A and B are shown apart, each in its own frame.
Chain A
Amino acid sequence: MPEGSPDRPRAWQRLWRRAGARTALLVLGILVALAVLGPWFSPWQPQALDWSQLAQPPQLGHGHWLGTDRLGRDLYVRTLYGLRLSLALSLIASGVSLLIGIAWGSIAGFAGGRIDGWMMRVVDVLYALPYLFIVIILTSLVARGSLWVLLVGLGGVGWLTTARIVRAQTLALRGREFIVAARATGLAGGQIITRHIVPNLMGTVLAYAALTIPQMILFESFLSFLGLGVQEPHASLGNLVYGGAQEMESAPWMLLGPAAVLVALLLCLNRLGDGLRDALDPREY
Chain B
Amino acid sequence: MADRVLRLSDFSVRFATAAGSVPAATEVSLSVAAGECLGVVGESGAGKSQLFLGALGLLAANGRAAGRAQLQGRDLLGLPARELDAVRGRRVGMVFQDPMTSLTPHLRIGTQIAQVRMRHLGEPAAEARRRALELLRRVHVNDPEQRLLQYPHELSGGMRQRAMIAIALAGNPQLLIADEPTTALDVTVQAQILALLQELKRETGLALILISHDLGAVAGLADTVAVMRQGRLIECAPATELFASPRQAYTRALLEEARALAAPVPAQASGEAPVALEARALSVSYPVPAGGWGRRAALAALSEASLTLHAGESLGVVGESGSGKSTLARALLKLVPHTAGRVVWMGRDLDALSRARLRAQRRDLQIIFQDPLGSLDPRMRVAELVGEGLRVHEPSLSAAARRAAAQAMLARVGLEAGLMERYPHELSGGQGQRVGIARAMVLAPKLLVCDEPVSSLDVHSQAQVVELIAALKRETGLALLFVSHNLGIVQRLCERVLVLYLGRMMELAPAGALFAAPRHPYTRELLAAIPLPDPRLQPGRLSAVRAGEAPSPRDPPSGCVYRTRCPFAQAACAAARPAWEAASGQGAVACRRWREI
Contacts and interface: CB of A to CB of B under 8 A. Distances in A.
B392 A186 contact: yes
Contacts of A183: 335
B393 A186 contact: yes
A196 to B, nearest CB: 5
Given A4-B428, A186-B392, A181 B44 contact: no
B392 A191 contact: yes
Interface string B364-375: 011101110011
Contacts of A8: 425-426
A3 interface: yes
B377 A196 contact: yes
Contact of B428 (A1, A177, A187): A1
A177 B375 contact: yes
Interface string A174-202: 00111011111111100100011001100
Interface stretch (B140-148, B355-363, B507-515, B560-568): B355-363
B429 A178 contact: no
A250 interface: no
A186 B392 CA distance: 7
Contacts of B359: 186-188
Contacts of A188: 355-356, 359
A1 B458 contact: yes
A8 B18 CA distance: 11
B335 A185 contact: no
A2 to B, nearest CB: 6
B461 A1 contact: yes
A258 B264 CA distance: 81
Contacts of B119: none
Contacts of B380: 196, 199
Contacts of A43: none
Contacts of B426: 4-6, 8
Given A185-B388, A186-B392, A188-B359, A2 B428 contact: yes
B375 A1 contact: no
A82 B281 CA distance: 71
Nearest to B356: A188
Contacts of A180: 330, 335, 369, 375
B164 interface: no
A194 to B, nearest CB: 12
B195 interface: no
B427 interface: yes
Given A186-B360, A186-B392, A186-B393, A4 B422 contact: yes
Contacts of B355: 188
Interface string B37-63: 000000111000000000000000000
Contacts of A200: 377-379
B164 to A, nearest CB: 25
B377 A184 contact: no
Given A177-B374, A178-B374, A200-B378, A185 B392 contact: yes
Contact of B369 (A3, A177, A195): A177
Given A1-B429, A4-B426, A186 B369 contact: no
Contacts of A199: 377, 379-380
Residue with the greatest number of chain B CB neighbours at <10 A, chosen from A176, A178, A185, A195: A185
Contact of A184 (B356, B367, B376, B427): B367
B94 interface: no
B45 A184 contact: no
Contacts of A182: 377, 388
A79 B76 CA distance: 67
Contact of A176 (B333, B335, B374, B425): B374
A178 B368 CA distance: 10
B226 interface: no
B374 A186 contact: no
Interface size range on A against B: 20 to 34
Contacts of B428: 1-4
Contacts of A187: 359, 388, 392
Q: Which of A178, A188, A191, A199 has the most CB of B within 10 A?
A: A178
A184 B392 contact: no
Contacts of A196: 377, 380
A182 B384 CA distance: 12
Contacts of A5: 426
B496 interface: no
A185 B439 contact: yes
Interface in A1-42: 1-6, 8
B171 interface: no
B367 A181 contact: yes
A176 B374 CA distance: 7
B93 interface: no
B389 interface: yes
A235 to B, nearest CB: 42
A182 B436 CA distance: 11
Nearest to A180: B335
B146 to A, nearest CB: 32
A185 B362 contact: yes
A133 B380 CA distance: 45
Contact of A4 (B370, B379, B427, B457): B427
B430 interface: yes
A187 B365 CA distance: 13
A187 B403 CA distance: 19
A116 to B, nearest CB: 16
Contact of A181 (B45, B363, B378, B439): B439
Contacts of A186: 359-360, 362-363, 389, 392-393
Nearest to B364: A186
Nearest to B365: A184
Contact of B45 (A1, A177, A282): A1
Interface in B405-454: 422, 425-431, 436, 439, 443
Contacts of A4: 422, 425-428, 431
Interface string B343-359: 00000000000011001
A282 B443 CA distance: 32
Most buried by A among B369, B388, B458: B388
Nearest to B418: A6
Contacts of B335: 180, 183-184
B366 A184 contact: yes
Interface in B329-348: 330, 333, 335
A183 B392 CA distance: 11
A200 B425 CA distance: 14
Contacts of B363: 186
Nearest to B44: A1
Nearest to A6: B426
A180 B330 CA distance: 9
Nearest to A179: B377
A23 B367 CA distance: 48
Nearest to A203: B379
Nearest to A197: B377
Contacts of B377: 178, 181-182, 195-196, 199-200
Nearest to A198: B379
A209 B426 CA distance: 28
A25 B431 CA distance: 38
A94 B421 CA distance: 33
B360 A181 contact: no
Interface string B86-122: 0000000000000000000000000000000000000
Q: Which 3 A-B pairs have the closest CB atoms?
A: A4-B426, A186-B362, A1-B428
22 contacts: A1-B45, A1-B457, A4-B422, A8-B426, A177-B371, A178-B375, A180-B335, A181-B367, A181-B375, A181-B377, A182-B388, A184-B335, A185-B366, A185-B388, A185-B392, A186-B359, A186-B362, A186-B363, A186-B389, A186-B392, A188-B355, A282-B378
Interface of B: 43-45, 330, 333, 335, 355-356, 359-360, 362-363, 365-367, 369-371, 374-380, 388-389, 392-393, 422, 425-431, 436, 439, 443, 457-458, 461
Given A1-B428, A4-B422, A184-B333, 5 more contacts: A6-B426, A182-B388, A187-B388, A195-B388, A196-B377
